[in-house]
Amino acid sequence: MQMSNAVTMRTNESLLQDYQRVRRDSVNICAPLETEDYGIQTSPEISPPKWHLAHTSWFFEAFLLNKEQADYRAFHPGYDYLFNSYYESVGTPFPRPKRGLLSRPTVTEILAYRDHVDSAMIDLIRAQSDNASIQFLVSLGLQHEQQHQELMYTDIKNIFAFNPLRPAYKQLPEPPTIESEDYHWLAVKGGLNHIGHGDDTFAYDNEFPRHRVLLEDVWLAHRPVNNREYLEFMQDGGYEDTRLWLSDGWTHINKHGWNSPLYWEQDTNGKWWHMTLSGMRPVDMNAPVTHVSFYEAHAYASWAGMRLPSEAEWEVAATQYSPDIKGNFRESGYLQPCSPEGNALFGDVWEWTQSPYAPYPGFKPLAGSIGEYNGKFMCNQMVLRGGSCVSPQNHLRHSYRNFFYPHERWQFTGIRLAKDNV
């Protein structure tokens, strides 16, 4: 089944409540910020918080209001250029690396822009409650905004980590520390299995079509690699042993001087600290290691004598051992990975797989400009699964495919081991 506008219809009130909740969440995420924080961009991958607030509004304006609301008047004609991310078929986007160079529009103006879009969108949802195409596009816009909410947390963390004062985004509760169990192994039986989204609830086009995969017997660790285990890799010279590294990874870590996960710092007494959204904290050795690249995940797995799972192996295991999506998500309030309990296949960290981000057999992108959402990025990136400590729980599915370039590590990315059953 290929994703289309034919998703399960919802009541007008249900969709409207979701719209208002998700839109409110974005503003609330930024509430602890000072005005000066909203415009910072620390690297080309990072976007200023105010850009996220504006871009998620532009999405509804570009794909719904401009097309479906005959009397809609744009808040500002220049915003179509400033806040388009990568939709070349819609117009020419403002250069991504230069988003942080814009002092205007102000935060106040962007919040007014959000109110303008929200007012028109509420009218549209109420007037078009029985229009399946509009319901689908509203759902897509809300899922898109939830993706940006996760980016807002990780971008804010990067912005504050860049500051030598290491300011806190806000004071957050300390995650509980639970002594990590030794691995036990989740058996994934080989043979024909099915992966991909398989019903009429919402999913992205890259999760379709549901299809068969042939797997060999494999074991997946019941939890991600923790900080203590990763520190052992570091202390054993993992960053100096070229035999463990893919060629591109070896070149990258030497060019950039990597010798630990992003945000780790060692004090004069040899104790490791790391940046969190609450400022600098000691590294919890029982929590999943995070902010590692695919290159680091692959090297660690090689050092451990194992490998990373494929995305098909991960999805089959998650469907079998975690039928309910439970874990440490944004709703826990920690906004930081913590010691997992049970078969932890969701939450805490996005888990690198060994699978390149590529189309499933029979994949077809959505028609029109929204077809640019996923398909054109299916090159040179790797798939991650499972969600993180800043993912909204209701945003995730067993079939959900995240993807990043192999060198990127500002997201809450981590490692799960696999071993062949031979």
Q: What is the pLDDT of residues 270-300, one digit of tens each?
A: 999 999 999 999 999 999 999 999 999 999 9
| CATH number for the domain harbouring residue 194 | 3.90.1580.10
DSSP states along 53-106: HHHHHHHHIIIIIHHH-TT---S-TTHHHHS--S-TTT-PPPPGGGGGG---S-
Domain termination site, one of 162, 193, 208: 162
- For the entire predicted model, the pTM comes to 0.96
Token output for 147: 């993706």
- Do 218 and 156 belong to one domain? no
Burial 196-215 (b: 16+ CB within 10 A, else e): bbbeeebbbbbbbbbbebeb
**Structural domain contains residue 261:** yes
Q: Which domain holds residue 226?
A: 185-420
- Do 101 and 197 belong to one domain? no
Domain termination site, one of 129, 162, 195: 162
**Structural domain contains residue 173:** no
**413 touches 291 (CB < 8 A):** yes
- Do 207 and 340 belong to one domain? yes
What pLDDT is attached to residue 128? 86
- Do 76 and 219 belong to one domain? no
**Structural domain contains residue 4:** no
What pLDDT is attached to residue 178? 84
Number of domains in the chain: 2
Q: How confident is the model at residue 5 (pLDDT cuts 50, 70, 90)?
A: very low
Pairing state of beta strands 350-356 and 413-414? parallel
**Structural domain contains residue 179:** no
Amino acid at 87: Y
What pLDDT is attached to residue 52? 98
Is the per-residue pLDDT at 7 higher than 90? no
- Do 230 and 276 belong to one domain? yes
Q: What's the whole-number mean pLDDT along residues 308-317?
A: 98
- Do 140 and 224 belong to one domain? no
**Structural domain contains residue 5:** no
CA distance 268 to 174: 24
What pLDDT is attached to residue 340? 81
- Do 115 and 207 belong to one domain? no
